[in-house]
Structure 1
Amino acid sequence: MTIDKSKIRNAATVIVIRDRHTAPRILMGQRGATAAFMPNKFVFPGGAVDLGDAQVPLASMVDETCQNRLAEDADGSLAHALVVAAIRELWEETGLILGQKGAWEGTPPADWLTFAQRGYLPHAAPLQFVFRALTPPGRPRRFDARFFLVDAEDIATDLDNFDDACDELSHLQWVALSDARKFDMPFITEVVLAEVEARARQLDPPASVPFFKNNDEESLFLRLRGRPMPS
C-alpha cells in the first residue's frame, strides 16, 4: 500500500480559540471563488509548508508530547518546518503574530520581514497538535495537513486587527463555536471542529491525535500517540 508522496504537500493549519472558558469563538475566513483548493469555503488559516520554513529560527518549540506525535508516521525532522508554517500562515492570512520579542540574526526571509520588523521571533510553544488529515485521492491538490490549536491569549498583537492580512482569506471573523456549523465549510473542517468543541476548555494535550489517512487503496482512521524522540 503506497502513496505517491511527490503529489502530496505537507501543510499546517491553525485554530485560534478565544474566550474558551466562557463563550468560545474561533477565527475563520472564506477562501476566494477562484481558489484552486476549496473555493468559497470557510476555513481556518493555513497552507503548505514552504522550502525555507525549516531554516526559520524559533523563539520556542512545541512541547515534547506534540513533537513525538508529529514524528509518528512521518519524518521527525518535519516538526520544525510544520510549526513554522503554521505561524507563517497565521501571520500571512490574518496579520496576527504568534511570537516572542526577540531579534533575528541576519536578514529575515522576505515573507518574514514585516514580522521581524515588529520585533518578534516565531513562538511555537503555545501550539497544540490536535488533528492530522491526508486529502483523499482524486483531488486536484493533496495535502498532509496538521492542525494546531492555540489560545488567543498567546497572540502577541490586537486580536481584532487584520490590517496586515493578505487577501487569501476574506470575511475574517471570530465565530462562536456553537454557530460555526452554519457556515459553508469543507467536510474535514467540520470533523476538526468537533475535536475542537470537545477540547475547548481543556488545556493539556489530548490523549491521542486523530489521523485520517486516506491512501489510494483505503481510508484509515488512526490515533497518534507519539513515539520517543531519538536521543
Structure 2
Amino acid sequence: MIAGEPPIRDAATVVLLRRLPAGPAVLMGLRGEKAVFMPSKYVFPGGAVDAADATAPLIAGLPETSQQRLTQEPRGEAPIDIHALAAAALRELAEETGLLIGRSGGPASDWPGYAEHALSPDASHLYYVFRAITPPGRPRRFDARFFLADAACLSNDPDDFSAACDELSHLHWVPISEARALNLPFITEVVLAEIAELVALSGDGALCAPDTVPFFDNRGPTPRFAQIA
C-alpha cells in the first residue's frame, strides 16, 4: 500500500451482454453526481466485496478457467477469495438492477429477489474477462474483477428494473456501438473495447472464457499492464 492512500478493496463488476435484433447491447447505469467514486459516470453494475460474501450460498461456482485465473497475481500474501468475488458480483447485480442469475433446488439465499423467487445464485455463467486496480490519488481504490455474462441466463425479465436500488439511475441496455458516446470512466471504455472484441469472436454462439485477461495494475506508484493467461 502507498503511504497516505486509502486501502484497496476487492470489488466485482458484471457486464451483461444482450443480443438484440439491432445488435449486441450491454446493461449500464448512471452514478449520482454526489457519489464519492466516479460521480456522473455511466458504469456497469458492481461494487465492493462484503465480508458476508465469503459464506453466501451459491448453487454453482465460476467456470474452472475463471477460477484458475483469479488465483493469479494476488495483491498480498492472503489468497484471493474466489467464492466471495463471485458472490459479490451476483449480489451487486441483484441490488443495483433487480436482475437475477440463479436456479432452484440449491441452498437457500436471503438476498432480496433470490429469496422471494426461491432461487440460489448461480455463478457458472460468469466469465472473468478483465481486472483493474484504481490508480493512486483517488478517494477510494478498488481491485475490480469484471465478469461477462449473457443476458439469456437471467432468471427474470431483463427489462424489469423495478427491484433495483437507487445507486444507479437511467438503467438501460446500451448498444455496444453507441456506448462509448456516454460519459464513461477511462477503464470502462477499455473494458467495452475488450467486450466488443469478444462478442465479435463469438458471433451468435455462446460466450466463453477469453484467451487472456487484461490486467491494469496500479497497486504501486508505477502503472503496469499484464495479461493473465
Q: Compute the TM-score of the two structures, normalised by the length of structure 2.
A: 0.91
| Whole-angstrom CA distance in 1 between matches of 2:36 and 2:162 | 25
Deviations 1:25-48 (A, max 9, x none): 000000001100000100000000
For residue 3 of structure 1, report the CA deviation from its aligned partner: 5.4
1:1-231 to structure 2, matched below 5 A, reads 7-19=7-19, 23-74=23-74, 75-102=78-105, 104-105=107-108, 108-109=109-110, 112-201=111-200, 202=202, 203-225=207-229
**Deviates most, 83-92 or 66-75:** 66-75
Amino acid at match of 2:69: R
For residue 73 of structure 1, report the CA deviation from its aligned partner: 1.0
Residues 183 and 66 of structure 1: CA distance in aligned 2, closer, same or farther (over 3 Å): same
* Contact 1:15–1:45 under 8 Å retained in 2: yes
**Deviates most, 135-144 or 194-203:** 194-203
* Contact 1:103–1:116 under 8 Å retained in 2: no
| Whole-angstrom CA distance in 2 between matches of 1:35 and 1:137 | 18
| Whole-angstrom CA distance in 2 between matches of 1:68 and 1:6 | 29
Structure 2 SS opposite 1:24: strand
Amino acid at match of 1:49: V
| Whole-angstrom CA distance in 1 between matches of 2:113 and 2:198 | 33
| Whole-angstrom CA distance in 2 between matches of 1:67 and 1:3 | 28
Structure 2 SS opposite 1:39: coil
For residue 113 of structure 1, report the CA deviation from its aligned partner: 4.2
For residue 84 of structure 1, report the CA deviation from its aligned partner: 0.3
Amino acid at match of 2:10: N
Unaligned runs of 5+ in 1: 226-231
| Whole-angstrom CA distance in 1 between matches of 2:73 and 2:21 | 33
Structure 2 SS opposite 1:117: coil
Structure with greater proportional helix content: 1
For residue 22 of structure 1, report the CA deviation from its aligned partner: 6.5
Amino acid at match of 2:220: D
Residues 160 and 221 of structure 1: CA distance in aligned 2, closer, same or farther (over 3 Å): same
For residue 20 of structure 1, report the CA deviation from its aligned partner: 6.9
Residues 21 and 204 of structure 1: CA distance in aligned 2, closer, same or farther (over 3 Å): farther
Structure 1 SS opposite 2:23: coil
Structure 2 SS opposite 1:200: helix
| Whole-angstrom CA distance in 2 between matches of 1:14 and 1:81 | 14
For residue 139 of structure 1, report the CA deviation from its aligned partner: 0.6
**Backbone CA RMSD of aligned residues:** 1.8
Deviations 1:62-104 (A, max 9, x none): 1111001111012544110001000000000000001111354
* Contact 2:94–2:113 under 8 Å retained in 1: no
| Whole-angstrom CA distance in 1 between matches of 2:71 and 2:195 | 22
Identity, in percent, stands at 50
Give the count of matched residue pairs.
Answer: 220
* Contact 1:53–1:81 under 8 Å retained in 2: yes
Counterpart of 1:229?
Answer: none
**Deviates most, 75-84 or 8-17:** 75-84
